[in-house]
Structure 1
């Protein structure tokens, strides 16, 4: 599941340099940079249909060939809750739609610090309700997300469970940020090898999104949630991630509640490596498609 060690080290060094440059910018410049990059992410074999859910910008991504219409993927983008958009998420939603031949709905939830917790969860619920009003049943939907979007995907399902509503068919999580308390061992053991994240970045994101909040609130740190009755869950994570423990501990807690869960740890990979345009990322998407087809049979 890993590319060659030499190539891997080169990629990680390049990503580290790029991320250091991004961190030196102010928030608005980071957001603008992501939108500029997103202009390159349109694929000629895919359709992009923008729409609004109230004031929430949203998008359908779908393949132009014949495809599965009964089931859809509800996607929550990452970005530390303070950056990111459905445009930038096309690096993953393109692959999801192409590999699974399913329609993917993604959306721009409100971002911190302008809109801290619980704004993102409120927006996710609004888009979920919109999907239900279109005529989809909860069991026709697979919820997915990367990083903070993985956090939001889990929080959405916990909120649905709290309201005693029907839960989605399944969950797919790419490097999910599940524990804002940072209690896992990887926050210490992976600090020198993670090319994407560092504690300063995470601390700033937490301060923007959840200042003054109880970080053990399951809607903020889903790791501490009650997962009774949760749908089958598939997690992908890189072995060189600061957030590796967030995935490993989540798997352990899901198992404690007897949730069917599968975790793939990709050796030598980094945070949300699935965004990258190389073979390991596409192989990972093939595994996602396999998981979806298994639970949808």
Structure 2
């Protein structure tokens, strides 16, 4: 078993510069987020179209049963043996393949692997367990294409990190072969919000707050048991889980969701690595920053390592 836990510090920069960046992120996120869920979804798609556009990337639409999806690939010769199944974030109420291009294009470029992203059904129109059922449909689609479970790396951000964990827990429950590895960016692992940083980081987090999380929980799992491991994977049994890599920002309320998950994985004897990025916020990897690209290179290093 290998265990790594280290804090990655940004290159020395004035605190005022970081505060300015956090303020900018807060403003940008404020323009995207809306209590009108359709406007929120549209704003996210506009961001994805703007920041996820690259001549080096090929996008191919795909239909998985009744679900839309897309393959994201580098426009050059690249590795075909392994594939990344990507679960997008958005609190289970927003997000799409288009919005996720801010991440899927980066991870496809850094790994030179094909990435499959899918538009699972969103809440409140389609509450739990619609999304996890759609994730299983995407998994089964890859199996029908001829990939083996061990050829797949499951990745996700925020609620997509929750989905990635829930999918593997579901596969384990069904006694199926598990994927080769997991890559999680700021995973929302605990919908009970039991972690200390939900309060200690509340003033500094420029992206998330308790009110937003409560709204997403209401949309997705109103009336459900939040301790259900397929809703809050933190409470799952991780025995036999594949190698896992977690990235999280130091300035987000979901920091505890990652640190507690890391601890649980260690207790289950899972090979796990956690990197905490100083001064960073929730899913900072979306931003067009050097730190975001560096983080994606670290995702690639982890994937290369487990694919040897």
TM-score above 0.5: yes
Identify the match of residue 16 of structure 1 among 19, 26, 31: 26
1:296 is matched with 307
Write out aligned runs for 1:282-293 (5 A). Answer: 282-293=293-304
Deviations 1:23-52 (A, max 9, x none): 444111011111222222221111100011
- Aligned with 1:70: secondary structure? strand
Q: In the alignment, which residue of structure 2 is the partner of 1:179?
A: 190
Conserved 8 A contact 1:2-1:269:
no
Task: Tell me, yes or no, if structure 1 residue 75 matches structure 2 residue 86.
Answer: yes
Matched, 1:2 2:3: no
After TM superposition, the structure 1 stretch with the greater mean CA deviation from structure 2, 49-58 or 25-34, is: 25-34
Q: Distance in 1 between matches of 2:175 and 2:139?
A: 15
2: CA distance between counterparts of 1:189 and 1:28?
31
Contact 2:49 2:101 in 1 (8 A): no
Pairing 1:166–2:188 present: no
Aligned CA distance change for structure 1 residues 121 and 24 (closer, same or farther; 3 Å) = closer
Provide the secondary structure at the position in 1 that maps to 2:172: helix
Matches within 5 A, 1:18-37: 18-37=28-47
Between stretches 1-10 and 92-101, larger displacement belongs to: 1-10
CA distance in 1, matches of 2:178, 2:220: 26
User: RMSD value over aligned CA atoms?
Assistant: 1.0
Q: Does 1:259 align with 2:270?
A: yes
1:99 paired to 2:84: no
Q: Is the 8 A contact 1:145 1:173 kept in 2?
A: yes
> How far apart, CA to CA, are the structure 1 residues paired with 2:150 and 2:157?
21
Give the Cα separation in 2 of the matches to 1:201 and 1:55: 29
Inter-partner Cα distance in structure 1 for 2:31 and 2:116: 31
Q: Distance in 2 between matches of 1:53 and 1:23?
A: 29
TM-score by length of 2: 0.95
Distance in 2 (alpha carbons) for counterparts of 1:276 and 1:22: 14
Tell me, in whole angstroms, the C-alpha distance in 2 between the residues paired with 1:24 and 1:258: 41
Mapped contact 2:209–2:253 kept (Cα < 8 A): yes
Structure 1 gaps of 5+ residues are none
Given the superposition, is the C-alpha separation of residues 25 and 210 from structure 1 closer, same or farther in structure 2, using an over 3 Å criterion? Answer: closer
Does residue 1:54 correspond to 2:69, yes or no?
no
Alignment partner, residue 112 of structure 1: 123
Normalising by structure 1, what TM-score?
0.98
Deviations 1:84-137 (A, max 9, x none): 001100111011000010000000000000000000000000010000000000
1:209 paired with 2:201, answer no
Give the Å deviation of 1:18: 2.5
CA distance in 2, matches of 1:290, 1:262: 12
- Residue 16 of structure 1: how far off its partner (Å): 1.1
Which structure 2 residue ranges, 5 or more long, are not aligned? 1-8
